[in-house]
Amino acid sequence: MNVDSIKIILIFALSLTSVNSFAGLKDKFKEQQKPKKISQEVLDIRDDINNTWGAIEREGTFYYLMRDGRNNFTIYSDGKIRYKPYLKDVFPLYLVDNKIFVPLTTKIIGKTGTPWKGKTIRCEKKVSFARPAPVGKIDKEGIASFKMEYLGKANSTHKEKLSNYQEFEVNFDTKECYATYKYDKKSVHKCHIANSNEIILNHSFDLPGNLENYIRGIQKNLYLQKKNLETCKVESK
């Protein structure tokens, strides 16, 4: 075997290796492109979460709970400054079958996971939905007394403000609403409760931002989306 033939063999071997590695990457790329399978158990839980919200939205009433804001001022075109009260810290709750549910934002990621009706869901990549957190029931007098202990909700931008509250007392018929602050339990403040129709009709409510976008944002975040669900597992106890 002379030097030239050795060179030819070497070149041939090298080219084979590169073809092989290329084929390997190609296969890997093809594999990557394939949609990853979501387990049936995960899909069942997703359907259950989404059906639950469907039932709450269908059979319940969506309310806004608001607290009185500080006095705000508006400069009118005539140059005068007028003060008017405005309502802030709007957050949603659902009244269904005399029970109050608050959308509690739940993120599933990492080892801990989150329970859903006794089963635990664990996801490697972030998956989020809103849990219908039960906060209270309406009593025989038509009053609902509840503590807002859960700090999350569908629209997490109001998370911090919501945590200022400790206790609520709401009459959904007369729309009377009283609340205490978390760090000032002695003083009681008036709050406001209204459903979406009432809030649009009542112009004295000066809502922050665009109401329509706000509602859409809340409702969109209730449901469990398909994204990253392939990284999830379900464990039964």
Partner 1 sequence: MKILIFLTNLLFISIVHSSAFDFENLYKQMNNDLNEVSKEKAKKEDDIRAYCNSLKRLPFTWKEDFAKKNKINVNSIKFAGAIMNKGLYGSYCTVKSSSDIGVCRHSVVFINEVPRILNECR
139 makes contact with partner 1 (CB under 8 A): no
- At 46, list the tokens: 């997703």
Q: How many CA atoms lie within 13 A of 157 on its CB side?
A: 10
Q: Is 63 a binder of partner 1 (CB under 8 A)?
A: no
CA 183, CA 196: separation in Å to the nearest integer? Answer: 30
The region of 19-27, 28-36, 128-136, 189-197 touching partner 1 under the rule CB under 8 A is: 128-136
Beta bridge partners of 179: 168, 189
- Partners of 188 in the beta sheet? 180
Least Cβ distance, residue 206 to partner 1 (angstroms): 27
Comparing CB distances to partner 1, the nearer of 172 and 205 is 172
How many other C-beta atoms can be found within 10 angstroms of the C-beta atom of residue 57?
Answer: 15
SS3 68: strand
Among 46, 123, 127, 131, which residue sits at the site for partner 1 (rule: CB under 8 A)? 131
CB of 132 to partner 1, least distance (A): 6
Considering only residues 163, 171, 219, 231, which one is a binding residue for partner 1 as defined by CB under 8 A?
163
How many CB atoms lie under 10 A from the CB of residue 90?
22
- DSSP-assigned beta bridge partners for residue 122: 233
Question: What would you report as the CA-atom Rg of the chain, rounded to the nearest whole angstrom?
Answer: 28
Give the nearer residue to partner 1 in terms of CB position, either 42 or 199. 42
Contact set for partner 1, span 142-161 (CB under 8 A): 150-151, 160
- Alpha-carbon gap, residue 95 to 134, rounded angstroms: 10
Query: Of 10-18, 48-56, 195-203, 220-228, which segment contacts partner 1 by CB under 8 A?
Result: 48-56
Q: Is 212 in the site for partner 1 (CB under 8 A)?
A: no
Q: Which residues bind partner 1 (CB under 8 A)?
A: 52, 55-56, 59, 96-97, 99, 101, 110-112, 114-118, 131-134, 137, 150-151, 160, 163
